[in-house]
Chains A and B, each alone.
Chain A
């Protein structure tokens, strides 16, 4: 392995990972940058079960561009088809123009997105922990995907199903419910053929 970082979870387990993996977390990256940084970075708020899940995600993303926050912004340098001598490629043309024209990069991005979507197809409890961890450790892509996972859990469900999902009580009166139905009625087809 290249240079590694040691992380210590809240319950005392040590994880040693490559820099590229750990530096997905902006927090870990800036801590490691400090002059008087420790050899081990303690992460008291993340327990080992979650940290290992987080690191699994980071491992997958370690050498890929940030696919979600800057979708299609693939630097030419990472493209196997380009040898970096893309003469005349201006910086503005590089990102989106590149991935538009480079099929290989576009496919790689799509594959990673698919993997991520599977990764967050987990129960809400785990998504909740991943959200907290992504926020705490400031991992942009994980936050993006955990949010997508939470949104996916909500999509297509009716209010009663959403209540069950989040263990919430219906605290509307029948009159209030009627009002709300009316308020959202515009989402039904307003044009009868």
Chain B
């Protein structure tokens, strides 16, 4: 089929072609008769898509000869009259497959091509099989101006009975006209594919792959892929693996992973594997430009997409700072940049900065010029002019510093423990939905809480569960570094703290395996699938800051595992100055010397194969 938009050879011969003017643009013409074959079996119909009910504006000789209707009888009518048996029938004949008719209508509405077989009738009432192809024609401004129907008519010897019998009786006859080879357009989201429907495994491959396999977990996909060659091939589908990852890790995580440069190149299958085995994890050093000035320590770092954001901190004269810096790791030469934000929060250190919904950050608490704080500020880094916005929640928790926080459901801030005025350690847990019209803080009542502490970590796993690890915890009159693990399920009606194993006293009863030495201000990374990775922090004695410990709280018997990772690890890593970018790498600031004001040398723990020099638009 060729649409020759340049030739105008059809001018003089009405039978051979047709000249259409495309709206505001120039005319275009086409001549198809020669390609269609003997005129008597091939119809060509053009309808006007801009007029109501798509009236016919042209039919060719082949149409006239096949159907017995002359052009002047049909111009201006919708083509559906062919579904009525004869010129006097008022309704579509019941043997015409209604689903095909509906599909035609849908294709017309959506402006996409249709291909299928439809029962039609000549003017004399005799049945015709119409293999129909409908194609939209676009005018100059991308709107559809016409539809072209190409019809291959063949005789069919379906038994119809007398012309005026009732619908029920007609349909009760054995249906010989729908043969094995009737094509029914199958819509699968955005793709329209015509396939034969036979046995289960010959269901269109796309249906099998995307729908059924997408429900399986990785282990089941592996079983399916080991069955036979055909199924092995089918399980190699990227869309399936993406669904599998989403089912296993949740849609938040998969969404975040999608923004990681190089993730698409790696493919979801390989991503699933590498994030499970951590076989490609490695440390490397990064040098970046720019500067964070005036220099400071005890700031907070958090990532938004592929940008590291730094807020606040304690200056050289112990003054609390309130400026904001961004490091865009996507750029070819990442450098620290001071961000001009309107209405910055009061300066502070010892606060928490957490990521909310992938483009915003939320600050809570810390120590300011006037003492401890309990305010909440949000920054939308993707806004036109980023501005800090205060969230005034009713009944805020006690002001505090060196507490821990996390965000749940893209909407709720959870805050726990910390150090209050006069150095008292806290053990309470509070929750604030920042997206509500009038946010109200809610303390999570618990009949039992873990010993109060500061410098511990709160990680989210498995949707709405939180895991608390370590910190400097109250133990009688003393404060000891802790390596305890506690979890809480926020989706329960009455959430409560649970010890992973063993007793609740610091230092006693821990998960099985070789656990990390007790510590505070460490790094806790939530891995897809619910595992937590721990490293760094202030550890008593000579322990490597970069030794990695892995725990899966969803296991029957959670057990610590040690992970050895090659590369150039940092000497120091603090929780407040380390952030996780895209769920696949941890960026450690100030890890060379422990002095955080050296911010041009970074360390990166990459959890998946790092693709060198990858930019986001690749």
Q: How far is the CA of A36 from the CA of B78 in the complex (A)?
A: 13
Contact status B101-A31, CB under 8 Å: yes
Chain A 126-170 residues near chain B, CB threshold 8 A: 128, 131-132, 135-137, 143, 147-148, 150-151, 154-159, 162-163, 166, 168-170
**Cβ contact within 8 Å between B186 and A159:** no
- Does B277 contact A190, Cβ atoms closer than 8 Å? yes
Asked if A20 is at the interface of the complex by the 8 Å CB criterion, the answer is: no
Is B227 a contact of A163 with CB atoms below 8 Å? yes
Determine which of A132, A181, A184 lies in contact with B203 in the assembled complex, contact meaning CB atoms within 8 Å: A132
A12 on the B face (CB < 8 A): yes
- List the one stretch of B13-21, B228-236, B399-407 in contact with chain A: B228-236
Give Cα distance in the complex from A25 to B550, angstroms. Answer: 49
B-side contacts of A190, CB under 8 Å? 276-279
Q: Is the CB of A168 within 8 A of B228?
A: yes
Are the C-beta atoms of A191 and B102 separated by less than 8 Å? no
Q: Which of B223, B276, B563 contacts A159 (CB 8 A)?
A: B223
Question: Which residues of chain A are near B168, meaning CB under 8 Å?
Answer: 8, 14, 40
Q: Which residues of chain A are near B232, meaning CB under 8 Å?
A: 172, 180
> Are B550 and A191 interface neighbours, CB within 8 A?
yes
Whether A175 is near chain B, meaning CB under 8 Å from some CB there, is: no
Contacts of B277 in A (CB 8 A): 186, 190
With A and B bound together, what is the CA distance between A139 and B216 in angstroms? 22
Contact (Cβ within 8 A) A148 B215: yes
Number of interface residues of B (CB under 8 A): 58
A83 in the interface, Cβ–Cβ < 8 Å? no
The distance in angstroms between the C-alpha atoms of A193 and B558, with both chains bound, is 11
Known contacts A38-B167, A135-B207; is-contact A166 B200 (Cβ 8 Å): yes
Q: Pick the interface stretch among B170-178, B292-300, B341-349, B601-609.
A: B170-178
A80 in contact (CB, < 8 A): no
CA distance A131 to B91 in the complex (A): 31
B197 at interface, CB cutoff 8 A: yes
Find out whether the CB atom of B92 lies under 8 angstroms from the CB atom of A151: no
**A131 in contact with B215 (CB, 8 Å):** no
Q: In the bound complex, what is the Cα–Cα distance between A170 and B229 (angstroms)?
A: 8
Contact B99 A36 (CB under 8 A): no
Closest Cβ of chain A to B514, distance in Å, is 8
Residues of chain B with a CB closer than 8 A to A137's CB: 99
Question: Is B199 positioned at the interface, with any CB of A under 8 Å from its CB?
Answer: yes
Question: Are B102 and A31 closer than 8 Å at their CB atoms?
Answer: yes
Q: What is the CB-to-nearest-CB distance from B190 to chain A, in angstroms, rounded to a whole number? A: 16
Taking CB atoms, residues of chain A closer than 8 Å to B613 are: none
Mark the stretch among A41-49, A54-62, A110-118 that contacts chain B.
A41-49
Known: A150-B212, A162-B224, A168-B227. A36 touches B90 (CB 8 A): yes
* Contact, CB under 8 Å: B226 / A181: yes
**Given A40-B168, A42-B171, A155 contacting B216 (CB threshold 8 A):** yes
A180 and B228 CA atoms in complex are apart in Å by: 11
Chain B 204-230 per-residue mask, 1 if CB under 8 angstroms from chain A, else 0: 000100011101111110111111110
Judge whether B231 and A168 touch: CB under 8 Å.
yes
A84 CB-CB contact with B under 8 Å: no
> Within the complex, what minimum Cβ distance (angstroms) separates B307 from chain A?
28
* A171 to B226 alpha-carbon distance, docked (Å): 10
Judging by beta carbons under 8 Å apart, are A193 and B513 in contact?
yes
Q: Contact: B276 with A162, CB < 8 Å? A: no
Contact (Cβ within 8 A) B228 A171: yes
Q: Is B543 an interface residue when CB atoms closer than 8 A count as contact? A: no
Q: Which residue of B lies closest to A12 (CB)?
A: B172
- The answer, yes or no, to whether A77 is at the interface (CB within 8 Å) is no
CB within 8 Å of A: which B80-100 residues: 80, 90-92, 94-95, 97-99
In the complex, B512 has a CB within 8 A of chain A: yes
| Cα distance A191–B559 in the bound complex, in angstroms | 10
- Chain A residue at minimum C-beta to C-beta distance from B105: A30
Please tell me if B561 contacts chain A, counting CB pairs below 8 Å. yes
CB pair B223 A158 closer than 8 Å: yes
Known A-B contacts A131-B203, A193-B512; the reply to A186 vs B102 at CB < 8 A is no
Q: With contacts A132-B203, A191-B550, A191-B561 known, is A44 near B225, CB below 8 A?
A: no
Q: Complex formed: what's the CA distance from A136 to B212 in Å?
A: 17
Contact B102 A30 (CB under 8 A): yes
Give the complex CA separation of A169 and B272 in angstroms.
28
Q: In whole angstroms, what is the CA distance A148 to B213 when docked?
A: 10
B184 at the interface (CB under 8 A from A): yes
B478 on the interface (CB 8 Å rule)?
Answer: no
Partner of A38, one of B92, B217, B563: B92
Inter-subunit contact B171/A193 (CB<8 Å): no
Q: How far is the CB of B39 from chain A (nearest CB, A)?
A: 30
Interface membership of A107, Cβ < 8 A: no
CB distance from B268 to the nearest CB of A (A): 14
Asked whether any CB of chain A lies closer than 8 Å to the CB of B201, the reply is: yes
Does B273 count as interface, using CB distance less than 8 angstroms?
yes
Taking the complex as formed, is A79 at the interface, i.e. its CB lies under 8 A from any CB of chain B? no
Enumerate chain A residues within 8 angstroms of B80, measured Cβ to Cβ: 36
Q: Which residues of A contact B229 (CB under 8 A)?
A: 171-172
Q: Scan residues 87-121 of chain B and give those whose CB is less than 8 A from a CB of chain A.
A: 90-92, 94-95, 97-99, 101-102, 105-106
Please give, as numbers and ranges, the residues of chain A lying within 8 Å of B224 by CB-CB distance: 154, 159, 162
Question: For B97, what are the chain A residues with a Cβ–Cβ distance below 8 Å?
Answer: 42, 44
Closest B residue, CB atoms, query A10: B175
* Per-position binary interface string of chain A over residues 8-24, scored 1 when its CB falls under 8 Å from any chain B CB and 0 otherwise: 10101010000000000
**In the assembled complex, how far is the CB of residue B165 from the closest CB belonging to chain A, in whole angstroms?**
13
Of B105, B201, B279, which contacts A166 at CB under 8 A? B201
A162 touching B227, Cβ below 8 Å: yes
Complex contact B228–A163 (CB within 8 A): yes
Name the residue of chain B whose CB is nearest to the CB of A41.
Answer: B98
Known: A14-B168, A171-B228, A186-B273. A42 touches B223 (CB 8 A): no
Task: Let me know if A124 is at the binding interface, CB within 8 A.
Answer: yes
How many angstroms from the CA of A168 to the CA of B217 in the assembled complex?
21
Name which residue of chain A comes closest to B512, CB basis. Answer: A193
CA–CA, A178 and B421, complex, Å: 64
Q: In the complex, which residue of chain B has the Cβ closest to the Cβ of A166?
A: B201
Known: A12-B171, A162-B224, A162-B227. A135 touches B186 (CB 8 A): yes
Which residues does B use to contact A, with CB under 8 Å? 80, 90-92, 94-95, 97-99, 101-102, 105-106, 167-168, 171-173, 175, 178, 184, 186, 197, 199-201, 203, 207, 211-213, 215-220, 222-229, 231-232, 273, 276-279, 512-513, 550, 559, 561, 563
7 smallest CB-CB distances across A and B, nearest first, come from: A151-B215, A184-B222, A12-B172, A191-B561, A159-B226, A128-B200, A190-B277
- 25 intermolecular pairs with C-beta atoms under 8 Å apart: A12-B173, A30-B102, A36-B90, A36-B91, A40-B168, A40-B171, A43-B99, A128-B199, A131-B207, A143-B211, A151-B216, A154-B220, A155-B217, A155-B220, A159-B226, A163-B227, A168-B201, A168-B231, A169-B228, A170-B227, A172-B226, A172-B228, A180-B226, A190-B276, A193-B512
Add 7 more A-B contacts to A31-B98, A132-B197, A151-B216 (CB < 8 A).
A31-B101, A136-B184, A166-B227, A172-B226, A190-B277, A190-B278, A191-B561
